[in-house]
């Protein structure tokens, strides 16, 4: 068995007549940290949402953990169990406590007994350093805390890969770092990660590979050092100059 | 409560212009309706002489006194605290109601004699018909709402036809259709099942729209988060969407059920001995029906108040995750 | 979504299947059913005055109730009562929900929907007015506002549509033409409107004699101004069961013979109005 976690080959997707992805090919290996960046509307979010089939692609092939993605629920459930996802707007379940948010999926999907699920949840809440908030409701937490709970919630399923869809974009500036720290420490522990983010500092220090997308195409990809110091494509240069200006 | 502004407004009932307007209004209304024959007229006998012979002067005097009492009353209430104001207004309206009923010269012994039966037979029947219909209506409502939101043309077609038909017909018509019409198809239902079926279908149609609005009010992100964790449709619906939709659904649902409690009276045409049927029936032989109608009216009111209380209890329960 | 369709379809078919499908009433079938279940189900009203009403113990009581019980006794079965509204009873198509009803004027139009095995009492339809009214006889009601209960022979009379086609009927003489006919769910509601005062809402009520007399006895400020017409009142059963019809006819006949029907009439109305 090879160590490929996600493999996308010639993936294309349309929203009606609008072509959101054009012939995208991408391979993510076990333990690899990939950062995807690009201007808004470039298709980067769409691409990672295709990886657990929150969106359906129309052409090409995506294989996750050796399972080819298609519309059938049974295979899809197996894939989603192994793919954690963190959203821009956290999407915690507001009617459940933080602890229950983390326990729900292991209990209901994997059939983990309650005490075991609780142990697991507390372990990962510890991991994101907010075990003391376990019995609060999401609405009582700050944005940064909520995003860390969301990460813990995904980790509780012990996924093979974590997808981050702009995890810091809707946070107040002072909370960005606590989330990035959590993500960095995850990376250090060897988690396979695909992150859509504009945090170039994070990309530079954590990523194995940076991918730049524009207009549904992968324009350029490379190791962070090359990518940031010596971009090949003029569009990449333009993007980097815009985003790093401040 | 409305979201109050921080502006400090003058108390309306203490504005001279407002009080004067109210005074003139009450005075003219009381003057137009001859009130000399009432208790107040009787109390003013020392001033106006025999109330019935007092003529225009007596009429005016009575109206004047009532207007003064009324204005004094609202001005005084204006000084009270909010809670006291509410309590006093409720109390006064209640007293007015009682006074209104007292005018009918009802036979209280007749009410007391028949009240136990009105409750053990009438209220119990009304309640169990309503309760069973409530359960069915909710089940129908959820199913039809899901069908209406689905992308399945067949399910969508059935659900929209259903809500359109049963919201579009008067309930009484539906009751007759089910009781008298279904037998043409060979399905013969007795009075109580017919009534329950009609109520369930009718209220279910309204519930469909309530559930649909509730489900649609939930952010798309909740569906996505739930899916990304691997939850299937049923699990997502049951554990994620419905619990969040319920707080949105409860207020209009409570409204609908209070309405249904009273609409259940329509099954009395089929001879079901529920509250309205008995209220119309019990006093008939001895011509005491006013007594029974008023007793039943008050019972309906009490039942509705109970439902309101239950509703606010449930609302408070669901508000617990909204604390900040 | 296919799952959902299956659930919907299953629920629908269950609902249909769970409904009992009794055979429709046919020759001999009603009698068989009555004897088999040992219950005779009769549809009666709860607001039919002394004919059928709820007594102090909240049980059905009255002339009709006792007649039904006697018929049940004659058949050797128990009497059971249901109380649908009059328009539902008079509509016919009982679908086996009940076996018989009482106090039905046996008109030709109704024979399509039901059979009339026996006439058991004679009814008179009276006109009543407020006691302040100056009306003294029926003809003075010309052009007045008259209240009636819906679906009754009195309503037909008021509208000049009464076909006196029952057994032994005399031709009807319409003694007045109401200016307006107001229809009520029951005669009692009409009495309530009449007692508000002469001409306030109604000038007169046309209704069954026993009901008018009950109202007056209960202190309603009314007075009788004359009999509009007499009608026989019959037992009615679903059409088509000759044996059942004959059985009931025989029982009523024997009650007439041994005087028990007269006794019942005197007990409830003070006079013998029973059919001879």
DSSP state, residue A193? E
Tokens of C34: 């009555």
Please judge whether B143 and C7 are an interchain contact, meaning their C-beta atoms are less than 8 angstroms apart: yes
Please judge whether C88 and B180 are an interchain contact, meaning their C-beta atoms are less than 8 angstroms apart: yes
- Which residue does chain B place closest to C48, by CA atoms? B285
The average pLDDT across A139-168 equals 93
* Contacts with B180 from chain C: Cβ below 8 Å: 88, 91, 93
What is the tens place of the pLDDT at every residue in A103-147?
A: 999 999 999 999 999 999 999 999 999 899 999 999 999 999 999
CA distance C188 to chain B (A): 7
* Contacts with B219 from chain A: Cβ below 8 Å: 91
Place of tokens 């899916």: B227
Residue in B226, B230, B240 nearest the CB of A81: B230
**Quick one: pLDDT at residue A44?**
92
The average pLDDT across B103-118 equals 85
CB A64 within 8 A of CB A52: yes
Dihedral of alpha carbons C132, C137, C143, C146, sign? positive
CA distance A209 to chain B (A): 25
Per cent of chain B over pLDDT 90 is: 48
Q: How far apart are CA A119 and CA A82, in angstroms?
A: 20
**Quick one: pLDDT at residue C54?**
87
Q: At residue B16, does pLDDT exceed 70? A: yes
Which among C113, C115, C109 has a CA at the least distance from the CA of C88? C113
Chain B residues bordering chain A (beta-carbon distance below 8 Å): 219, 221-222, 224-232, 235, 239-240, 243-244, 321-324
**Quick one: pLDDT at residue C24?**
44
- Please provide the DSSP assignment of chain C as one string: -HHHHHHHHHHHHHHHHTS--PPPP-TTHHHHHHHHHTEEEEE--SBSTTSSEE-TTS-EESHHHHHHHHHHHHHTSEEEEE---HHHHHT---TTS-SEEEEE---TGGGGT-EEEEEEEEEEEEEEEETT----SGGGGTT-EEEEETTSHHHHHHTT-----STTPPPP------SEEEEESSHHHHHHHHHT-TTTS-SEEEEEHHHHHHHHHTT-SEEEEEEEEEEEEEEEE-TT-HHHHHHHHHHHHHHHHTTHHHHHHHHHHSS--B--
Please judge whether C83 and B147 are an interchain contact, meaning their C-beta atoms are less than 8 angstroms apart: no
Least confident of A237-241, B26-30, B42-46, C179-183: B42-46
CB atoms within 10 A of CB B20: 11
- Which residue does chain A place closest to B324, by CA atoms? A140
CA distance A160 to chain B (A): 13
DSSP state, residue B79? T
pLDDT per residue, tens digit, chain C (276 aa), is: 455 555 555 555 444 444 444 434 455 788 889 999 999 999 998 888 888 988 888 889 999 999 999 999 999 999 999 999 888 888 888 888 899 999 988 888 888 888 999 999 988 899 999 999 998 888 899 999 999 998 888 898 999 888 777 766 778 888 889 999 999 888 888 998 998 888 889 999 999 888 898 888 888 899 999 888 888 889 999 888 889 999 999 999 999 999 999 999 999 988 888 887
Strongest mean pLDDT among A73-77, B183-187, B270-274, C41-45: C41-45
Give the residue with greater pLDDT, B94 vs B322: B94
Per cent of chain A over pLDDT 70 is: 98
CA–chain centroid gap for C110, Å, is 13
**Quick one: pLDDT at residue C17?**
43
Mutate to test the interface with A, among B218, B230, B232 (most CBs of A within 10 A): B230
**Quick one: pLDDT at residue A97?**
93
The average pLDDT across A10-18 equals 91
Mutate to test the interface with B, among A46, A95, A103 (most CBs of B within 10 A): A95
User: What's the predicted TM-score (pTM) here?
Assistant: 0.79
Please judge whether B150 and C16 are an interchain contact, meaning their C-beta atoms are less than 8 angstroms apart: no
Residue B281 at interface with chain C, using a CB cutoff of 8 Å = yes
The average pLDDT across B147-160 equals 93
Residue B266 at interface with chain C, using a CB cutoff of 8 Å = no
Task: Please state whether at least 3 CB pairs lie below 8 Å between chains A and C.
Answer: no
* Contacts with B282 from chain C: Cβ below 8 Å: 54, 58
For residue A41, the cross-strand partners are none
**Quick one: pLDDT at residue A245?**
67
Work out the pLDDT band at B1, boundaries 50, 70, 90: low
**Quick one: pLDDT at residue C167?**
67
Q: How far apart are CA B54 and CA C165, in angstroms?
A: 61
Residue B183 at interface with chain C, using a CB cutoff of 8 Å = yes
**Quick one: pLDDT at residue C16?**
46
CB A161 within 8 A of CB A32: no
Please judge whether C188 and B155 are an interchain contact, meaning their C-beta atoms are less than 8 angstroms apart: no
Tokens of B57: 């002067």
**Quick one: pLDDT at residue C19?**
44
Q: At residue B283, does pLDDT exceed 80? A: no
Residue B178 at interface with chain C, using a CB cutoff of 8 Å = no
Q: At residue A56, does pLDDT exceed 50? A: yes
Please judge whether A91 and B219 are an interchain contact, meaning their C-beta atoms are less than 8 angstroms apart: yes
Residue C196 at interface with chain B, using a CB cutoff of 8 Å = no
B–C interface: beta-carbon pairs under 8 A = 95
């Amino acid at each position: 068995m090879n160590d490929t976690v996600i493999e996308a080959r010639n993936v294309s997707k349309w929203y009606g007549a609008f072509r959101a992805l054009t012939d995208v090919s991408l391979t993510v290996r076990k333990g690899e940290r990939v950062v995807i960046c690009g201007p808004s509307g470039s298709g980067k979010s769409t691409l990672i949402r295709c990886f657990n089939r929150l969106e359906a692609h129309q052409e090409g092939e995506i294989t996750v953990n050796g399972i080819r993605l298609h519309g059938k629920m049974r295979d899809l459930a197996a894939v989603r169990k192994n793919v954690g996802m963190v959203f821009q707007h956290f999407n915690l379940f507001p009617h459940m406590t933080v602890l229950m948010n983390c326990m729900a999926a292991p209990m209901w999907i994997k059939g983990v007994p309650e005490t075991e699920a609780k142990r697991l949840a507390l372990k990962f809440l510890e991991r994101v350093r907010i075990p003391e908030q376990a019995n609060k409701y999401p609405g009582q937490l700050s944005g940064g805390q909520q995003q860390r709970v969301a990460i813990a919630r995904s980790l509780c399923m012990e996924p093979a890969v974590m997808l981050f869809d702009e995890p810091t974009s809707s946070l107040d500036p002072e909370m960005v770092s606590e989330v990035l720290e959590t993500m960095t420490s995850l990376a250090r522990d060897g988690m396979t990660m695909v992150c859509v983010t504009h945090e170039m500092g994070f990309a530079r220090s954590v990523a194995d590979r940076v991918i730049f997308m524009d207009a549904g195409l992968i324009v350029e990809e490379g190791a962070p050092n090359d990518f940031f110091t010596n971009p090949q494509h003029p569009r990449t240069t333009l993007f980097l100059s815009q985003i790093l200006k401040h | 409560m409305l979201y109050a502004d921080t502006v400090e407004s003058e108390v309306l009932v203490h504005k001279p212009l407002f009080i004067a307007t109210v005074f003139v209004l009450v005075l003219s209304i009381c003057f137009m309706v001859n009130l000399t024959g009432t208790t107040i007229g009787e109390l003013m006998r020392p001033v106006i002489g025999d109330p019935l012979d007092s003529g225009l002067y007596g009429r005016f005097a009575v109206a004047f006194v009532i207007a003064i009492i009324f204005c004094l009353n609202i001005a005084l209430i204006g000084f009270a605290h909010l809670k006291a104001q509410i309590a006093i207004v409720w109390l006064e309206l209640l007293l007015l109601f009682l006074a209104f009923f007292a005018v009918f010269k009802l036979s209280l012994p007749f009410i007391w004699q028949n009240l136990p039966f009105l409750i053990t037979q009438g209220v119990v029947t009304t309640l169990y018909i309503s309760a069973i219909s409530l359960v069915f209506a909710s089940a129908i409502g959820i199913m039809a709402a899901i069908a209406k939101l689905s992308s399945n043309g067949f399910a969508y077609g059935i659900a929209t036809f259903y809500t359109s038909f049963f919201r579009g017909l008067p309930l009484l018509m539906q009751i007759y259709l089910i009781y008298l019409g279904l037998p043409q198809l060979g399905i013969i239902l007795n009075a109580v099942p017919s009534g329950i079926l009609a109520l369930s279908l009718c209220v279910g149609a309204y519930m469909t729209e309530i559930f649909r609005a509730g489900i649609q009010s939930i952010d798309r992100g909740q569906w996505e988060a739930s899916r990304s964790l691997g939850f299937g449709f049923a699990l997502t619906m049951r554990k994620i969407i419905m619990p969040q939709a319920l707080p949105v659904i409860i207020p209009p649902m409570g409204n609908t059920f209070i309405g249904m409690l009273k609409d259940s009276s329509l099954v009395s045409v089929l001879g079901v001995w529920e509250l309205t049927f008995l209220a119309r029936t019990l006093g008939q032989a001895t011509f005491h029906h006013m007594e029974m109608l008023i007793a039943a009216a008050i019972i309906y009111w009490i039942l509705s108040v109970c439902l309101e209380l239950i509703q606010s209890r449930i609302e408070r329960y669901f508000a617990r995750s909204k604390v900040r | 979504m296919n799952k959902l369709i299956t659930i919907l379809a299953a629920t629908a078919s269950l609902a249909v299947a769970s409904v009992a499908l009794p055979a429709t009433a046919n020759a001999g079938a009603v009698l068989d059913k009555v004897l088999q279940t040992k219950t005779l189900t009769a549809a009666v009203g709860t607001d039919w005055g002394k004919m059928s009403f709820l007594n102090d113990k909240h049980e059905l009581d009255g002339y009709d109730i006792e007649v039904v019980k006697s018929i049940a006794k004659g058949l050797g079965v128990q009497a059971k009562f249901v109380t649908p509204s009059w328009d539902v009873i008079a509509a016919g198509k009982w679908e086996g929900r009940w076996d018989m009803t009482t106090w039905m004027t046996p008109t030709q139009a109704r024979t399509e929907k039901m059979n009339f095995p026996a006439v058991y009492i004679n009814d008179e339809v009276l006109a009543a007015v407020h006691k302040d009214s100056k009306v003294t006889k029926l003809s003075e009601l010309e052009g007045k506002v008259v209240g009636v209960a819906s679906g009754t022979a009195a309503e037909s009379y008021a509208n000049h549509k009464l076909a006196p086609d029952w057994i032994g009927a005399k031709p009807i003489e319409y003694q007045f033409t109401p200016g307006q006919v107001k229809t009520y769910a029951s005669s009692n509601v009409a009495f309530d409107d009449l007692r508000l005062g002469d001409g306030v809402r109604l000038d007169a009520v046309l209704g069954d004699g026993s009901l008018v007399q009950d109202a007056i006895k209960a202190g309603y400020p009314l007075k009788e101004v004359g009999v509009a017409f007499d009608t026989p009142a019959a037992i009615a059963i679903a059409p088509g069961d000759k044996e059942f019809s004959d059985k009931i006819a025989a029982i009523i006949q024997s009650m007439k013979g041994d005087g028990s029907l007269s006794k019942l009439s005197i007990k409830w109305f003070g006079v013998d109005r029973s059919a001879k």
